[in-house]
Chain A
Amino acid sequence: MDPPTSGSSGAEPPGSAPSRLLEFEEQTEVGGVYLQALMRRQLRLSLAVAATFIAFLAVQPLISARWPQWASIRFWGIPLPWLVLGLGSYPLLIWLGMVYVRRAEEVDDEFTDLLS
């Protein structure tokens, strides 16, 4: 592995950094706790968003198996299953993506504020 050098962000850790940042960087036990908390928050957020969309997908084959008549419901002549899967999926994906990005950046920012 290459020797670690400072990254291209150019910002060195400030010399008068609060002790929390130092602990974090030196991976003391306290620092480890901070990092774990951050990872757990981010992971919980990701899992919640993923579960929402996966549920949306997974429920459709079940409906088709249990209640096949839903294919005879039509809007503008197009069967409902086609509309839900082929058209409805994309706005939902984009909306979930937007919610996630906003929340993930907030979590990162709160963490940065806490440490500096």
Chain B
Amino acid sequence: MSPSAAAVLGLLAMAVVSLGTGMFARRFAHTTSDFMVAARAVPPRVNAAAISGEYLSAASFLGIAGLVMQYGYDVLWYPVGYAAGYLLLLLFIAGPLRRFGAYTIPDFAEGRFDSPRFRRLAVALVLVIGFFYALPQVEAAGLTVQTASGLPYWVGVGVVSLVVVAAVTGGGMRGITLVQSLQFAVKVFAIALPAFLLLIHFGGLGSSFAGSPSGLAQLTKTTSFKVTPGELWQLPTATEIRVNGGATVAWSAGELVRSPGAVTAEVAGSPSPSRTARSGERLLRIVGRRLVPRGTIVWRQGATATLAAGEAAPYGSATPASTDARWMNPFGPLAGGSGHPLLFTYSLIMAILLGTIGLPHILVRFYTNPDARASRRTALLVLVLLGAFYIWPPIYGALGRALDPALYGGNLTDSVVLILPSLLGGWLGQLLLAVVSAGAFAAFTSTLSGLLVSLAGALGHDVYGRWLRPTATPAARRRAFQVAAVMAGAIAGGLGLLVGQFNISVLVGWAFAIAASSFFPLLVLGIWWPRLSTAGAAMGVALGGTLSTLAIVTSMVATIAPPLETFLAQQSSLAVILEQPAIITVPLAFLVMVGISLLGQGPPPGVAAKMVQLHAPELLGLRRDYIPD
């Protein structure tokens, strides 16, 4: 069996199982409540597995391992922050939010403040965050299918969109809860088993940190790279390259320094290698073997370049070349590349931790619990399940640097999880390749289906059911939910075909920053501070959401606008803040909410009743769901 056949088998098996479970669960989904909140009857164990299944996206399954391989230690903040977000969710949100008994976060926004206009603002944000989060999932689907099986990009995008739309329109929340809990089990198994076997086979994790004699990532075997015209290589040391037939490269002494997202700056004063006209560059002709000095080369024509085992691995344009020490120690190329490692690290921690609490598609799951006690226990179980998953991806990153540094050259670090298992060779390697492919498929389908429920809920329930047609019958609302799911799926799939190849984890990071600056302060203050006024909450959400979106868009635009890029390279602390805006925008949103509430008209009338609803234990028998069902 060829490698691609095993991968296709794994992907197909997962698609069939997901569809089958979705079809099976369809029989139980009848009412609107089934579709929106699974009739509020999901036991903690199932719900925790479903939430974890939904949360462990492509970014977690593929992206973290790839980023660890690229940047080293600093990336560990991502998995820890992703998991720790649930602790904060458990502490401040899970119980009270469930007691409120709504369907969606816009329901909470309107219900807590008695303001239909606030609902519209919240809906807009749900849509922005949802699509920001959905795009990388779709993109990962295309890329994974492409790398693992060799099928074209659009096949993966198409298949995943179809499977997800079918599952969501068929069974709504009720259906996907079952599918996602199954997908969680697949993911943990698929990430843990190959890592475990790799560790046994290659003698433990410690050897991955032993480093090499030269202090650089050295190729473990003689490797041939197929390069395309315009492709950029950073050579961390003088490297002997062999090209049969010959090829021309443009060499310059500069080193490319890049932190994820936007900031690209050159050290050693050489201009951007992405532009062709450059000073200090020399054309080199490689015919047969040639020792190319340390520096950056741009291939002028396609060729097959062979490097012998023991040569330092070349780095493609997506990854800063780094020594073993820089990779292993804190403040490596990710946090240190910005020039303000502490500021960068704290802002990153803040965005990830607080962003989790503001993600609407995650929050909505806590409404599916029977009561607040079950809701808290669900969040606790999620912590256990996420811990069991998140110890594994960094192990792939570390193993990848030691065992297959050739991935740096082709910018293939994002697929390290998919590539390492085949190093075990033979039928075992093939079997494990099928297993990780199935896991990757489970990762982007389960996250995408959760997002689709959230997006369809916002469109079908909030926009159609509450705003356009408040008098619609339950059956019409259910149909609106299904139509919205098809629409959202089509939009996400369509955009997924268009987007370029952004780093998967970075895109998700932006969704977190927006959520952290808008919904997080709204929920925490809305639940715990009775004096929060409608105007204060609305201004805070609008300002936090807008500023964080603007900051991120600016740093995206900078990657394609050289003047802005140069400016930001000079103002490095500003660049850090634009890339990781949470450290400014979150406190700002809080300040605005508190300030306007204290200065303006007081809290909305009836706030005491809202507080009773949020905080009174169910056993008192006072419970009234916002949407009884």
Binding site secondary structure of chain B: helix
- Please determine whether A7 and B615 come into contact, CB atoms closer than 8 angstroms: no
Per-residue A-contact encoding for B65-88, CB less than 8 Å = 1, 0 else: 000000001001101100110111
Interface residues of B in 446-477 (CB under 8 A from A): none
The digit string for A67-95, where 1 denotes a CB below 8 A from any CB of B, is 01001001011110110011101110110
Which of A6, A13, A46, A77 is in CB contact (< 8 Å) with B204?
A77
A22-46: CB near B (< 8 Å → 1, else 0) gives 0011010000100100110011001
Does B626 make an interface contact (CB < 8 A)? yes
Alpha-carbon distance A5/B40, docked complex (angstroms) = 17
B134 to chain A, nearest CB (A): 27
Q: What is the CB-to-nearest-CB distance from B22 to chain A, in angstroms, rounded to a whole number?
A: 26
A50–B384 touching, CB < 8 Å: no
Residues of chain A with a CB closer than 8 A to B101's CB = 7
Bound complex: CA of A73 vs CA of B542, how far in Å? 47
Q: Is the CB of A50 within 8 A of B91?
A: yes
Stretch from B49-57, B149-157, B372-380, B416-424 at the A interface: B372-380
Digitize B328-356: 1 where CB-to-A-CB distance is under 8 Å, 0 elsewhere: 11110000000001100110010001000
How far apart sit A102 and B40, CA to CA, in the bound complex (Å)? 23
Residue pair A14, B621 in contact (C-beta under 8 Å) = yes
Contacts of B90 in A (CB 8 A): 97, 100-101
CA distance in complex: A93, B383 (Å): 7
Q: Are A104 and B376 in contact (CB under 8 A)?
A: yes
List the A side residues contacting B386 at CB < 8 Å: 90
A contact residues around B40 at 8 Å (CB): 8
**Contact A11–B621 (Cβ < 8 Å):** yes
Contact of B483 with A by CB under 8 A: no
Q: Which listed segment binds A: B1-9, B170-178, B205-213, B500-508? A: B205-213
Q: Flag the segment in B251-259, B387-395, B577-585, B589-597 that touches A.
A: B387-395
Is B200 close to A, CB under 8 A?
no
- Complex-state Cα separation, A110 to B612, whole angstroms: 16
Residue interface bits A93-116, CB-to-B below 8 A is 1, else 0: 110111011001100110110011
Q: How far is the CA of A11 from the CA of B617 in the complex (A)?
A: 13
A109 to B111 Cα, complex, angstroms: 27
Query: A43-75 vs B: 1/0 string, CB under 8 Å?
Result: 100100110011001101110110010010010
Q: Nearest chain-A residue to B99 (Cβ)?
A: A7
B609 an interface residue at 8 Å Cβ cutoff? yes
B371 with A9: CB separation less than 8 A: yes
Question: A46 — nearest CB in chain B belongs to which residue?
Answer: B91
Contacts of B300 in A (CB 8 A): none
Q: What are some 15 contacts across the A-B interface (CB < 8 A)?
A: A1-B110, A1-B114, A1-B626, A7-B623, A8-B623, A57-B80, A60-B330, A61-B341, A82-B394, A85-B73, A96-B87, A97-B90, A100-B91, A101-B376, A108-B372
A residues sitting closer than 8 Å to B (CB atoms) are: 1-2, 4-9, 11-14, 21, 24-25, 27, 32, 35, 38-39, 42-43, 46, 49-50, 53-54, 57-58, 60-62, 64-65, 68, 71, 74, 76-79, 81-82, 85-87, 89-91, 93-94, 96-98, 100-101, 104-105, 108-109, 111-112, 115-116
Q: Nearest 8 A-B pairs (CB), nearest first?
A: A77-B206, A90-B387, A64-B330, A7-B623, A11-B621, A46-B91, A108-B617, A27-B608
